[in-house]
């Protein structure tokens, strides 16, 4: 779609107050879903992140990598097993999770950001003891519950002009490595950074009043209304843990949290820099 120079100017003028508002602030983006496997969407996200950095936002990119982990487990003939939506992670699997997330996926994202004109550095929860965890539940194996967050290495990166790209594995207290849910890790990191915003990229439009009708999106939710929405069945299934992360982040001091549709190109920029926004905001 071609747009005129006047339309381009209008878009920039509309974005200006938001650019001023966010300059110098921290925004944590949890990257996952279809936007992580579709090459066109992946390029759009990387350009969004670099643009955010260039206008003075301290961006922290936190990522998962479920499809890549599944592919590696398939390659070695190991079945992926899930309990209550969480990956069962035995000792062999946690080694593969660490190898895939903190290795290939993390470094691929760093390279994509660099290719898009940004400066990025790959980190994981083991670096600088960023994330310390205990076992969440014995039946899940090496799936961790975060006990401590140390963001000094993230601050060092952003202060030196780098975009930290964080893989969500954590260190145990006795030499263990734990697999951490990426939404949970992003929420805790955002809280510890006193971030202005946490953005969760998903494969849904946001919170829908009717899950089968995308036009019923609820644009704004006060976290005090979340329990009522659960009782009414509006928040259910896979949305419960995501929204719980949003609530936890807000209650820990994050200014606003957002669930946005990563299937829409440049959805991050639409959320940050337009009057209408996109997805569902929690405050």
pLDDT, tens digit (0-9, with 9 covering 90-100), for 125-155 = 999 999 999 998 888 889 999 999 999 999 9
Taking residue 7's Cβ as centre, other Cβ atoms within 10 Å add up to: 10
Q: What is the model's pTM?
A: 0.92
Q: What is the CA radius of gyration of the chain?
A: 19
171 pairs with which residues across the strands?
A: 132, 177
Q: CA-CA distance, 277 to 270, in Å (whole number)?
A: 6
Domain 21-282, classified CATH 3.30.2310.20, yes or no: no
The larger pLDDT score, comparing residue 89 to residue 53, is at: 53
Domain boundaries, the chain: 21-282
pLDDT, tens digit (0-9, with 9 covering 90-100), for 24-58 = 999 999 998 777 878 888 899 999 999 999 999 99
Q: Which DSSP letter does residue 102 get? A: I
β-strand pairing of 169-171 with 177-179: antiparallel
In this structure, are residues 26 and 53 in contact, taking their beta carbons and an 8 Å threshold? no
User: What is the structure's pLDDT at 129?
Assistant: 93
User: What is the structure's pLDDT at 1?
Assistant: 58
């Amino acid at each position: 779609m071609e747009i005129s120079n006047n339309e381009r100017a209008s878009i920039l003028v509309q974005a200006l107050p938001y650019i001023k508002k966010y300059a110098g602030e921290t925004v944590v983006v949890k990257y996952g879903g279809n936007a992580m496997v579709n090459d066109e969407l992946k390029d759009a996200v990387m350009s969004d992140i670099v643009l955010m950095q260039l206008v003075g936002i301290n961006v922290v990119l936190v990522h998962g990598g479920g499809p890549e982990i599944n592919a590696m487990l398939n390659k070695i003939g190991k079945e992926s097993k899930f309990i209550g939506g969480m990956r069962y992670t035995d000792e062999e699997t946690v080694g593969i999770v660490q190898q895939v997330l903190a290795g290939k996926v993390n470094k691929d994202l760093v390279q994509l950001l660099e290719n898009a004109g940004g400066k990025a550095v790959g980190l994981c929860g083991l670096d600088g003891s960023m994330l310390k965890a205990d076992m969440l539940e014995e039946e899940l194996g090496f799936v961790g519950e975060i006990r401590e967050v140390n963001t000094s290495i993230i601050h060092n990166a952003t202060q030196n002009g780098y975009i930290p790209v964080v893989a969500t594995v954590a260190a145990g207290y006795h030499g263990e490595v734990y697999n951490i849910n990426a939404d949970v890790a992003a929420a805790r990191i955002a809280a510890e950074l006193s971030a202005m915003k946490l953005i969760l990229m998903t494969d849904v439009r946001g919170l829908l009043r009717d899950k089968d009708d995308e036009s019923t999106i609820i644009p704004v939710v006060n976290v005090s209304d979340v329990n009522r929405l659960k009782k009414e069945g509006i928040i259910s299934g896979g949305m419960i843990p995501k929204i719980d992360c949003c609530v936890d982040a807000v209650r820990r001091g994050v200014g606003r949290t957002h669930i946005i549709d990563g299937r829409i190109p440049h959805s991050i920029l639409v959320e940050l820099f337009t009057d209408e926004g996109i997805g569902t905001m929690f405050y």
